Amino acid sequence: MPEKQYRDQEAMLSGVEEDRESGLKKLHTQYKQKARRVTAAVGATQLAILLLFIALWEAAGRQKWIDPLLFSYPTKILNQLWSSMADGSIWPHVGMTVSETIIGFLLGTLVGTGLAALLWWFPFLSRVLDPYLVVLNSLPKVALGPLFIVSLGPGFTSIVAVTLSITVIITTINIYNRFKEIEAGYIKVVRLFGASRTQLFRLVILPASFPVIISALKVNVGLAWIGVIVGEFLVAKLGLGYLMIYGFQVFNFTLVLSTLIVIAVVATIMYQLVAILERKLTSGWRER
């Protein structure tokens, strides 16, 4: 009799457990369905706002509610883009600007990370350079553009230098601050086990700062675009920044706005590629 009661209780508990798991699965399914509906609603709302804005802009330009010479309107901009893509005149400008941005982006991240590691490695050096980093970070980088142009010459090198002046300092400061924020107790434990400074950096500091370094890539995409466009404003004879300045000079604001759209599209693509790279690298790091 006791054995039968035990089996009955075990069966009852098993049934309760199955019901609980079934209930949790149902709740999880409902949650995912609700999340998908919210995501779809957000996307539909964003698209509706964009289409409404484009329609109002088109109507305002055609009905002369706004000055079409200054603000143009979507169909006119699309015609400008289509003609420049069809005759191939825009592609050299896109290629130049993208190449400058990629080089400035990669060099800014690598040099900034290297400087942050150097400051961590030599605390005395970090104390000496700290006020200079703050001053350099607060300087308007556009003011440095003429210096780069005079010293490096008008062209690709000076534009990349302007980009580096924007990306390197902020990258160095952010990553170095992360290096300093590593838990002191953890560092002491590793040192008690006889780790050298090289091993401490390679096995503790760098792995703990990896997500911040990856996130710096996303920040540097935007900063690199700012640096390149500013540099092209100052000195370029080829590039999207040059096209914008040329459009202003000849009062072709349709060209200016179409170039802005190209910049926005290409910058968004680059940002999304870096975001995908960030997710893959971060997930791979966590798996290890």
DSSP letter at 204? I
Query: Where are the chain's structural domains?
Result: 1-66, 73-287
d(CA 41, CA 48): 10
Residue pLDDT, tens place only, 253-279: 899 999 999 999 998 998 888 888 777
Residue pLDDT, tens place only, 165-222: 888 988 999 899 888 888 777 777 777 777 778 888 888 888 888 888 888 888 888 8
| Token couple for 20 | 């609980």
The predicted model gives 7-33 an average pLDDT of 66
Residue count (the chain): 288
The pLDDT assigned to 76 comes to 92
Max Cα distance, the chain (Å): 100
Using CA atoms, how far residue 196 sits from 28, 132, 175, 201, in Å, is 48, 30, 21, 9
Burial code (b: 16+ CB inside 10 Å, e: under 16) for 28-42 equals eeeeeeeeeeeeeee
CATH number for the region 73-287 comes to 1.10.3720.10
| Token couple for 248 | 């202003």
DSSP letter at 278? H
Residue pLDDT, tens place only, 110-165: 999 999 999 988 989 889 988 888 888 888 877 777 888 888 888 888 888 888 98
The predicted model gives 22-44 an average pLDDT of 82
Task: Examine the pLDDT at 285 and tell me if it is beyond 70.
Answer: no
77 confidence band (pLDDT: 50, 70, 90): very high
Using CA atoms, how far residue 101 sits from 84, 97, 214, 240, 266, in Å, is 22, 6, 18, 11, 11
